[in-house]
Amino acid sequence: MTPIRPLSYTLLAAVLGAAAASEPQTPLVAQQRPIQADNILSKSLVNTDKLQDSIKIENLVTHAKELYGIAQLSEPEYGHPTRVIGSEGHSGTLEYIYSALERLGGYYNLSKQPFPAVLGKVYESRLVIGHEVPESALPMSLTPPTANREPVYGDLVLVENEGCNASDYPANVTGNIAFILRGTCSFGAKSELAGKAGAVAAIVYNYESGGVSGTLENPTPNHVATFGLSGKDAEPILEKLKAGEVVDSIAYIDSEVKQIQTTNIIAQTVEGDPDNCVMLGGHSDSVSEGPGINDDGSGSLTLLEVATQLSNFTVNNCVRFAWWAGEEEGLLGSDYYVEVLPKEENQKIRLFMDYDMMGSPNFAYQIYNATNTANPVGSEELRDLYVDWYTKQGLNYTFIPFDGRSDYDAFIRHGIPGGGIATGAEGVKTEEEEAMFGGRAGEWYDPCYHQLCDDVGNVNSTAWLVNTKLVAHSVATFALSFEGFPERSDRTTLDAHEKSAKYHGHRLIL
């Protein structure tokens, strides 16, 4: 079937421009729509079974086809479908979601939250060490280019310790290429220190045999062009450097790092106790490499369908849906939302549920292993809700690390209980999981993760429908009552030593 392309995408630029110019940086609209009494009387109180029954795979698939059509709007600029922030495909995605919510008869208070985001593109790169071109060499996300976007030449200089202090960088690193061990501090900190020491480029090598694919996060003027390198490729180089041998290198990166404006979309029920909100979110953007129909079209469309069906019911507690922008660039939208949230608004969010990648083709039913010991109290009760639902359906499930890889991270760091479910990304399915869920052991859960082939055919309809029903159950449960769920504490931050992570989004940060 030819993808359907929604109309009037050019309208979004004007809408976002006006929002950025005039709308305060707050998560919710200031004015509420009046509640129509006849609408309330005709609706029943939300019921989990009825809300789950309203979820139809046909609706989800229709949305997915339309979303792919929207991703194709980016083809003139990118040469392929994508919904990366700053693209026509992402602008169209935002309009598609917002317009669908507007058609729900004033059931939700809607707002757009514009914020500054950093977008990076690597157009070309190459690293030569001695006479070899290491296969594992990858430019870091948000790396600046080499000087004048030309190759730079220098000897590799071994940095002491893990390169987290200025004193670790020898004087002879000036004009040369810093060779830095991964660990302790962020990749961005290492790149900045290398730049301040006068290095023309930096290589961060792994302490494990595998490669390093990370991000420098927030750009600074002192960042230098930075590569990641596997421990396996680094080992013979280290032996030479420690033996006093000279190892020359050529580094080349042609890249662009720029700041743009993008937008979160927030929808909160007009009804329900505004001081006790259940919140859930997915991200509206994809990576630049593809259309992102599973990652995270499946999650964002799950939210849209649940929000649509919920509008047929009344609620006791407010329900707040969020579509985050810039997740693929480092959880930018959710970070911004939580960071600017006033303390009194933070306290109104009883919990946050993250829904990212609901239908991986080689799926496992995955639950974030969020415990109260390591996270805000209430996280474990949410985890157990998912466990109970899968068990009741006679379905297997598995726990996965709660390690900062998706948009729940900012909520946890700011004292808000959180959790969620997923179906797997670039991880490899085990033989045990094949017995539990079917599919193919030894292959990625999503073989098209962050690739052009993440299209409509890349979503498993069985997993998508099952998980959308579970999302509906989670919403209905807390929209009805928080009975038995822990009260929020007054704490709105977690100390760094209590909540640290190697990931911030899908990329490593240290």
Q: Residue 17 is which amino acid?
A: G
Angle between helices 57-71 and 88-102 (to 10 degrees): 140
| Other CB atoms within 10 A of residue 459 CB | 27
Cβ atoms of 363 and 463 closer than 8 Å = yes
Cβ atoms of 166 and 197 closer than 8 Å = yes
Helix (H, G, I), strand (E, B) or coil at 60: helix
Q: What is the DSSP string of 441-463?
A: TTSBSSTTTTSTT-SGGGS-HHH
Taking the C-alpha atoms of residue 252 and residue 211, their distance in angstroms, rounded to an integer, is 19
Q: Residue 1 is which amino acid?
A: M
Tokens of 67: 């979303």
Active-site annotation holder among 217, 327, 328, 329: 327
Helix (H) or strand (E) segment spanning residue 233: helix 231-242
**Catalytic-residue membership of 327:** yes
Q: Which of 509, 27, 119 is nearest to 328 (CA)?
A: 119
List all residues 6 or more positions away from 194 whose beta carbon is below 8 Å from its beta carbon.
Answer: 159, 163, 169, 173, 178, 180, 201, 202, 224, 226
Q: What is the DSSP string of 125-174?
A: EEEEETTB--TT-EEPBTPPPSGGGS-EEEEEEEPSTTS-SGGGS-GGGT
What letters, b where the CB count within 10 A reaches 16 and e where it falls short, cover 410-437?
bbbbbbbbbbbbbbbbebebeeebbebb
Using DSSP bridges, classify how beta strands 226-229 and 201-205 pair: parallel, antiparallel or unpaired: parallel
Taking the C-alpha atoms of residue 176 and residue 147, their distance in angstroms, rounded to an integer, is 13
| Residues belonging to the active site | 327
